A and B are shown apart, each in its own frame.
Chain A
Amino acid sequence: MNIHEYQGKELLRTNGVPVLEGVHCKTVDEALAAYDKLNSKVVAVKSQIHAGGRGKGNLYSPESGDLVMEGGVKIAFSRDEVKTYSENILGNILVTIQTGESGKLVRNLYIESGCDIAHEYYLALLVDREKKSVMIMASTEGGMDIEEVAHNTPELIHRISVDPNSGLMGFQSRDLGMALGMSGKSLKSFMKMLAKMYNMFVSNDCTMVEINPLVKTGDDDIVALDSKVSFDENAEFRHNNWDEMRDLSEEEEVEIRAKESGLSYVKLDGNIGCLVNGAGLAMATMDVIKLYGGEPANFLDVGGGANEEQVKTAFSIILEDPNVKGILVNIFGGIMRCDIIARGVIAATEALSLDVPLVVRLAGTNVDEGKAILAESTLNIHPADDLAEGAQKIVSLIGGGV
């Protein structure tokens, strides 16, 4: 789960990590009031969306599609500039390197005081899958695309791994700060800040905290100028405040609905819908559809113990996508019995008066009963014995690829 920069900053602030003063706004009037309140000669006017690359992104009008302004993060030197920038950002579509071509509608702004920047660094805390621990990654090359830095000058990226038993040790923060060329006051502030950020990471079940840039001010203070924070959804049960931080408008509505029904759904651009049990098999089903010349319309995992109702919901979610021209059901019954799935498929196709070709491949527990149920039905269901046959059948039934 991702949150906005302004929410991340609030989290950093309450955890004792230095951030600049700022105000979250939803209207131009609020932005102007924020400017008056901050009383700073310079302010940053920042678009708030769940995607990176905002500074280098462009804003477009949702009606005409015309370019409104270049740059989703602006430095304003006057009240008038705050007004212009806010007007150009709010209600328009921000397209960045991470949003894809369709971009994202900007509904939120963050107005933040300016500061005197002596140096920009990159800092990130994340879970390192290989070392199975929290990794802290930092670089002197702040404000840049870190993947580019990693590719071109890997020696400029410094990493430390935190032992979960001891937590972040002082010597580790010191080593990292010194590797970034810090000393004296700035090194001290960096170490203090990092200890607080690590505690925040752990106590809030973060999967990532990325600060790009982290800056050293003219007074040798260390300040988080940006924030990108993600939480581990598995830990939602112990964080009551996540619900109110969640911006549902930034997430795919249909994916949320699927999740509420115990389904895992991701929409794709193709025209063959798939309904599969198990995440690995669901991915493999998409891959095989593509291998035989089709394009999958979605990823959908009904899980290990789906019932008739869930199968029906899964079908209706797949069919919401107007691109879907055919459906491939691929079930390897373990706990899930093929006869139950077969009944679910029949009930769903009848209830939804399915009018696109349907191929059903069943294997595993009670497969013969399942197949018999499908064969007895008068519905137009095409059986398949294995995944390859299923994929080939559905591709040919819809008349080839996209």
Chain B
Amino acid sequence: MAIWIEEDAKVLVQGITGKQGMFHADKMVEYGTQIVGGCTPGKGGQTVELQGKPFPVWNSMTEAIMETDADATVIYVPPPFAAEAIMEAADAFDSVKGEGVIVCITEGIPTLDMVKAVAYVYNRPGVRLIGPNCPGIITPGESGGAKIGIMPGHIHAKGRIGIVSKSGTLTYEAVAQTMSIGEGQSTCVGIGGDPVNGTGFIECLAAFEADSQTEAIVMIGEIGGNAEEEAAAWAAENVTKPIVGFVAGATAPPGKRMGHAGAIISGGKGTAEEKFAAFEAAGIACAKDPSELGSVLLESLKKAGLR
């Protein structure tokens, strides 16, 4: 088992005929992801060549899901149209099979578009949204696996550590740290750095807690909002598996947006200090430097009798 995405998940690509969509679809096929086609309105009936093989393109997500029985979709649609792509996918998954996972990679979607899209997804309880502005989700397999997003597949290996993070490259850093102590990953989820997003930390922690393959969790937060604090408080009550944490932005000045739309300390709230304190209060083992995540994780595994 893994969370939400099995190794052999069938995946569609929205925006597959665009430059970004095609580039990453090719990388996903190369990794071993079971891409079953894509959707670009107006280009239905065409095919796209990925790793030397043709893949079908549909005009609508409803048609694409009916034809392929896809489990998930990944969105590489430009910001002005991305929220609508999320809603189209949500509606199609809900009406065709009652469930599905939507991964939105796009950065720069207007916040109020996301407010609408998230409410739309929440009204379809079988549908899960990951992102936007995230690297995606990956469940490494024995050989290949399901890489749904833009992360470099080759740094991962199948294992028992679940990773959840707001940041892309910092997730890769966490992956490399688990590998440095000889541990692989069950599933890695990038929840994204936007102020309004789909799946949050708590849902990931709950899924990792319930997943039999996952034995420990790495949680990476960053300044802004209070999702980390809420997740820590929730974990203290509900998670029995060891958690290792890091929060980026201890040196960020207040009132300044640090790259991610959501990474801002406003009104003195959302600081790394508060988040680290909440982690520690919840019994989460913290690394003050991401290069120490491996050693902190190793210690936590030993303490839990897992090494």
Taking the nearest CB of chain A, how far is it from the CB of B303, in angstroms?
23
**A287 contacts B249, CB within 8 Å?**
yes
Chain A residues 173 to 201 lying within 8 A of chain B, measured CB to CB, are none
Residue among B155, B169, B261 with most chain A CB within 10 A: B169
Decide if A290 touches B250 in the complex (CB within 8 Å): yes
Partner of A365, one of B152, B168, B267: B152
Instruction: Kindly report which residue of chain A lies nearest to residue B198, judged by CB atoms.
Output: A132
Q: A387 contacts the other chain (Cβ, under 8 Å)?
A: yes
How far is it, in angstroms, between the C-alpha of A195 and the C-alpha of B198 when the chains are bound? 28
B288 cross-chain contacts in A, Cβ below 8 A = 287, 291
Contacting pair A299 B168 (CB below 8 A): no
Q: Given contacts A280-B248, A334-B172, are A163 and B258 in contact (CB under 8 A)?
A: no
CB neighbours of B116 from chain A (8 A): 164-165
Q: Are A202 and B112 in contact (CB under 8 A)?
A: yes
Pick the contact of B173: A238, A268, A281, A301 (CB < 8 A): A281
Q: What's the minimum C-beta distance from B277 to chain A, rounded to whole angstroms?
A: 15
Per DSSP, are chain A's interface residues mostly helix, strand or loop, or mixed? mixed
Residue of B nearest to A236 (CB): B110
Q: B119 interface residue, CB < 8 Å from A?
A: yes
Interface residues on B, range: 35 or more
In the complex, what's the smallest C-beta–C-beta distance from B127 to chain A, in angstroms?
15
Stretch at the interface among B59-67, B208-216, B218-226: B218-226
Given the contacts A147-B267, A287-B249, A237 and B80 also touching, CB distance less than 8 Å: yes
Within 8 A of B (CB), among A264-296: 264, 266, 268, 276-284, 286-291, 296
A202: chain B residues at CB < 8 Å are 112
Cβ contact within 8 Å between B115 and A238: no
A127: contacting residue among B196, B252, B259, B267, CB under 8 A: B196
Within 8 A of A (CB), among B201-239: 220, 222-227, 230
Contacts of B80 in A (CB 8 A): 237-238
Chain A positions within 8 Å of B123 at CB level: 165
* Cross-chain contact of B249 among A163, A283, A335 (Cβ < 8 A): A283
Question: Which of chain A's residues have a CB closer than 8 A to the CB of B289?
Answer: 284, 287-288, 291, 387-388, 391
Is A213 engaged at the interface, CB distance under 8 Å to the other chain?
no
B248 neighbours in A (Cβ, 8 Å): 280-281, 283-284, 287
Do B167 and A286 touch (CB < 8 A)?
A: no
In whole angstroms, what is the CA distance A333 to B267 when docked? 35
C-alpha gap A279/B222 in the complex (Å): 10
A262 to B169, alpha carbons, bound, how many Å?
17
Selected A-B contacts with CB under 8 Å, 7 pairs: A130-B230, A264-B258, A282-B258, A282-B259, A283-B251, A284-B246, A388-B291
Contacts beyond the supplied A280-B171, A335-B152, A389-B291: 15 A-B pairs with Cβ under 8 Å: A98-B255, A129-B226, A132-B114, A147-B267, A147-B268, A164-B115, A207-B111, A234-B111, A235-B112, A276-B169, A279-B260, A280-B166, A281-B290, A290-B251, A332-B169
Chain A residues proximal to chain B, CB less than 8 Å: 98, 127, 129-130, 132-134, 147, 163-165, 202, 205, 207, 232, 234-235, 237-238, 264, 266, 268, 276-284, 286-291, 296, 299, 301, 304, 332-335, 363-365, 386-389, 391
Residues of B that sit less than 8 Å from A by CB:
79-80, 108-116, 118-120, 123, 135, 150-152, 154-155, 165-173, 176, 193, 195-196, 220, 222-227, 230, 246, 248-253, 255-263, 267-268, 272, 288-292
